Structure 1
């Protein structure tokens, strides 16, 4: 019997189980979608309208500045600031209401309220009167912006008196002005330096002052008064033309930044990290819930190269010597400058300027003139002149030249202060011979000098040759100091042969006191032109008094260029400068008698008018192992024999060595006590 194959008509059991699972999962998915869409739909729709990209920031204290021995020069004084943060949908009338309430709790300065501010405030607070400024036809025909401007134009002085004559209204207008200055969700300062009473009143009513807060803040203070105050620099609003640049670096429109000198130069190091409040807002911009707060951080602390004790001594020396010079019959002498720097590192040890303020009859701090004002420095540059003679090959060690007046056609006789006759290079430096330098200049120019002989050719490229060599010392070039501005002095250009000769004795081009300090440092250290600098170290901010041990950055000595001159040439000139302060006929020998340290230097007298002289001095000590190099300039003296330049130089060097091994006071009070004891 043949068996037939019979097909099974039912689905295998395991496949049925699979179908059932798929069915159950699909049902659960449908159910879940239904719950999301029907039950939770409104909640999720609201969530989709939220945004998390709005962050409010508040200021953070800047870093402090210390002197080289860790004494605070620029500090932060704790204060409290009233701030306001407006949301994107806050109306002007709502801000006005808050301003009116605040005006009952705080006092504010109204001086910054402008006429335009008052007009805007008048329109807001006098809506009916403001509407009446335009006719119905004008309201219907003009666009809102044009209509508003026409209202502004038609507001009269008598209208504004309704506000300006009311002290309380002016307070409200001033507060409202500050509230409107910022933009949405930016922290805007309403008043800095709240009193305790104001803090208490505002704190009690914060629940009715939406957007208002009280924040801990800090203001710059200077424990040593106005000492070096101008070099520290100032804070101010971001300049309008630089707003975009600062915004790209994370700044807000209303931030205070360094706008001059060290505050500006080291803005990125000094600025703090702001505290941040991250808001979740709805579609209309209204914050929802509590913000996420990120704490701020104070800026880094700077250790400067200056010794504040030496700086105070320098300020006193300059003021006293300038006062004495004026008392001796020099009414045009209204300023004096001096700089002390470490010739081996470029550290600025002291940096002083004093100016006589005739309107107040007092002597004021004027240190920035040391890098912004340039003068004819006179014979103080002759170290560079002799080295230029060596380098160009027109003189050598011991070359003898004849010092008698130089007679060039159509030029006044050019002479030294006395006839020195046959002298060599060292004597020329010791006695400060002009004629020796004149002859070097003429030889560089290829001028075969014969008294009163016309028509002798000379090479005008000698100007370039001399300036190139002077530039190697920093004379006529910016020093590279870590400041946002400095001048390079004035290049007198190209002129007659007589002016070329003047260039060699420092009476044609002009140089800054800082350039002169860099120049003498280059000779003192054996030929390296170093970048002068104020920054020594950068430290992490400390939560206690004093510096933290965490070093962020350290300034390394920066050699800008090395002289092409040989070591023997530089040593020869160094010896010549030693003779200036030590030789029997040295021009500064009298002022340096009795010093208990070895020294060298060069005096300078530049006649700038018939009866006016710039008196300068450069020097360094100790002679064999220099620790300090100085430059001094007192312009516009009537008496070229006053020696005020030399006295300042001697007293500054004395002060350095007197202070060198003494304990360093830790505060201004201790420093003042030490001075009183002395």
Structure 2
């Protein structure tokens, strides 16, 4: 038993030796492998180790196009050659200067736009990078100890002698390098910065594209600019986009950055471009880059395909818009030529045409006389507010009927009213006995005065001249509430970044001012508000939101083809005026009388049976010599056909002097003629196509 145990113990060292030998072999192989990795593949594996996280950059895409109601392109994209720079992380100023010097051998930056933009600071930085040691030696070690890095750098630049930064001492090529570096310095990491795109030649584009390997971060690509086939027509309302240099507005940086924009992205800065930015912007192409710690890109792949912005289809017919512009411009010119006062005071004329049932804007025109030239100024349809005159009397009559201070068919004798010591107030002449219909037909001021007085609590009729009128100031808010139901004095709700609500005068205890308000001689309104007002009457009391957009389309499969409908702009009823339908019918009847036998009888005998209301508001303006000149705002609103309205309009010519030349009647008549002529022509074309 004892011998067997000793023999078994003698076998243990041998097994341990074998185990140690195996372990030794394994370590030897491992050491050899580590040697191979370190010596033969060390550099490749070190790059793998040095990899950072993957970064994603977003490449801009073309904006959506804008079409008119007949699918004619109104705003297009014009492709441009573009040279961009996308710095890697950790790129230093010295690196950008090297790129700038190389890039200067392929592209020219000698235009005034580039060279004039070179600042003293740009030159100082260039000189500093040319000889850093020499520049820094101008600051003593003692001075450096007291300064932060940024303050030290600032002092180094300041110590560069004045004569060294004289721009005239630099060659054209050096200035181009400085100009290029200035653009490169604007770039953010992994965000493409346009270096040059407005005048890149095909040769420059080809040379840069051929030498991209020598130009870290530089790319030859395509950019886009907005193009307007109809030139200036409707351009003011279309709006504009920021330039590459401007990028996103600084005051709205947080808004845009949280929505995936880059700082140098171009965005809509006004008009429909701004209002529909979210649709027009498109979806950026997203490229994922893998970089080393030194910033060198070693891999890239597209993770999101780019898609250009969605297209807008507007309600505006550009052929009709051009015709309305022509009519307004010709009538403005004629008024200035035929009337001496108008020649001194009349500066613009405005027209809005819309579908009263849907709110679709068919045309919006403003023509202005500026520095001896006639120019498009369609923004005035939304921005400029003017006294409307008697055009608002439809709202006044309805306010009187609905409030119960008058009844349908009630008569008042039209002769001047004198309150206390105030000057008498009357119509353009004594019109005799008039009811609500005749008051609209003949445009009686006195009838509206009695409505205002009665709403204020003064019920004496006829009013005893020279007496003091009873007046409850709450009548102001009551009257304005009625007017606001039509869109007068409030926003129309139009799809636009800004619109004026007009001027709202102070209310008070003066019955005379409320009388002025009742005839359109106190608060002021825009042409768009006036168009919505008359549309509400035409539309049986339904106030609809005016809009420029008809539909939004997906990008088409080709440049010539529209894509599928993404969204349609439906009719939106903002409110139904709180007035009896029989009262609305009565005002409609009164407007029809105006256009047949009343103050707008120029519209009589038209096949399209219009209804209308004229307006003349007294005003005054200073002429070129600073003298106060009496003027009149001439306006006209209406719709057609009377029995089934499909078009409504508002035209106004502020400060026309006197009404000897009836510019508002001529504009309205010609605009309606043009609309129905085009409509009839389109109907005939449709019939021919069907046949």
Given the two structures, how large is their TM-score scaled by the length of structure 2? 0.87
The aligned residue for residue 676 of structure 1 is: none
Equivalence map 1:274-313=2 (5 Å): 274-292=284-302, 294-313=304-323
Provide the residue aligned with 2:668 in structure 1: 649
Distance 1:36 1:605, change over 3 A: farther
Q: Distance in 1 between matches of 2:92 and 2:663?
A: 67
Name the CA distance, whole Å, in 1 between partners of 2:169 and 2:612. Answer: 65
Matched with 1:575 is 589
Change (3 A) 1:153 1:299: same
Task: Report if aligned partners of 2:82, 2:205 keep a CA contact under 8 Å in 1.
Answer: no
The question of whether the paired residues in 2 share the 8 Å contact of 1:404 and 1:435 is answered with: yes
Query: 1:272 touches 1:299 (CA, 8 Å); kept in 2?
Result: yes
Write out aligned runs for 1:54-133 (5 A): 54-108=55-109, 109-110=113-114, 111-125=116-130, 127=132, 130-131=135-136, 133=138
2: CA distance between counterparts of 1:320 and 1:420? 34
Deviations 1:131-157 (A, max 9, x none): 354344323432221112223445565
SS in 1 for 2:299: coil
| Match among 128, 138, 142 for residue 137 of structure 1 | 142
Structure 1 residues 581-660: aligned runs within 5 Å: 581-583=595-597, 586-589=598-601, 591-609=602-620, 611-660=630-679
Q: Which residue of 1 aligns with 2:458?
A: 447
Matched, 1:192 2:211: no
Q: Compared with structure 1, are the counterparts of its residues 371 and 400 closer, same or farther at alpha carbon in structure 2 (3 Å cutoff)?
A: same
Q: Distance in 1 between matches of 2:227 and 2:684?
A: 19
Residues paired across the two proteins, number: 635
The answer to whether residue 230 in structure 2 is matched with residue 216 in structure 1 is no
**Take 1:31 and 1:515, find their aligned partners in 2: how far apart are those partners?**
91
Is the Cα contact below 8 Å between 1:580 and 1:602 reproduced in 2? yes
Asked if the contact 1:390/1:396 (under 8 Å) is kept, the reply is: yes
CA distance in 1, matches of 2:659, 2:106: 64
- Call closer, same or farther: CA 1:409–1:106 in 2, change over 3 Å: same
Q: Does 1:406 align with 2:406?
A: no
For residue 35 of structure 1, report the CA deviation from its aligned partner.
11
> In the alignment, which residue of structure 1 is the partner of 2:390?
379
Q: Is the 8 A contact 2:427 2:446 kept in 1?
A: yes
Match of 1:23 in 2: none
Structure 1 154/607 Cα, relative in aligned 2: closer, same or farther at 3 Å?
A: farther
Instruction: Note if 1:252 corresponds to 2:267.
Output: no
Match of 1:227 among 226, 233, 240: 233
What secondary structure does 1:380 align onto? helix
Q: Distance in 2 between matches of 1:592 and 1:66?
A: 33
Give the C-alpha shift of residue 511 in structure 1: 0.5
Q: Which residue of 1 aligns with 2:276?
A: 266
Measure, in 2, the Cα distance between the counterparts of 1:212 and 1:441: 73
SS at match of 2:633: strand
In 2: Cα distance, 1:40 partner to 1:568 partner: 96
The answer as to 2:375 corresponding to 1:364 is yes
Q: Which moved more, 1:444-453 or 1:96-105?
A: 444-453
- The 8 Å contact of residues 351 and 364 in structure 2, kept in 1 or not, is answered as yes
Give 1:321's match in structure 2, choosing from 326, 331, 342.
331
Distance 2:286 2:447 in 1: 69
Contact 2:353 / 2:648 at 8 angstroms: preserved in 1?
yes
Structure 1 residue 33, shift from structure 2 partner: 10
Q: How much does 1:394 deviate?
A: 0.7
Task: Return the match for 1:539 from 553, 570, 594.
Answer: 553
Out of 202, 205, 211, the position equivalent to 2:211 is 205
Greater mean alpha carbon deviation, residues 610-619 or residues 225-234: 610-619
Do the aligned residues in 1 keep the contact of 2:51 with 2:293 (CA within 8 Å)? yes
SS, match of residue 486 in structure 2: coil
The question of 1:565 aligning with 2:575 is answered: no
With over 3 angstroms needed to count, the CA separation of the structure-2 counterparts of 1:549 and 1:147, relative to structure 1, is closer
Rounded to whole Å, the distance in 1 between the matches of 2:30 and 2:583 is 93
Taking a change above 3 Å as real, the CA distance of residues 447 and 658 of structure 1, as seen in their structure-2 partners, is same
State the match for 1:556 in structure 2: 570
Q: Is the 8 A contact 2:503 2:523 kept in 1?
A: yes
Corresponding residue of 1:498: 512
The equivalent of 1:332 in structure 2 is 345
Aligned to 1:354: 367
Question: Measured at CA, do residues 139 and 549 of structure 1 come closer, stay the same or move farther in structure 2, by a change above 3 Å?
Answer: closer
Greater Cα offset, 470-479 or 174-183: 174-183
Q: Let me know the Cα RMSD of the aligned residues.
A: 2.6
- Displacement, 1:230? 1.0
Deviations along 1:439-472, one digit per CA (max 9) or x if unpaired, are 1000000124533444443101111000000000
- Structure 2 Cα separation of the partners of residues 129 and 40 of structure 1: 44
Shift of 1:259: 0.5
Q: Secondary structure at the match of 1:137?
A: helix
Gaps of 5+ in 1: 1-25, 667-678
What secondary structure is seen at the aligned counterpart in 2 of 1:119?
helix
The alpha-carbon deviation at position 53 of structure 1 amounts to 3.2
CA drift of 1:113 comes to: 3.1
Residue 179 of structure 2 is aligned to residue 171 of structure 1: no
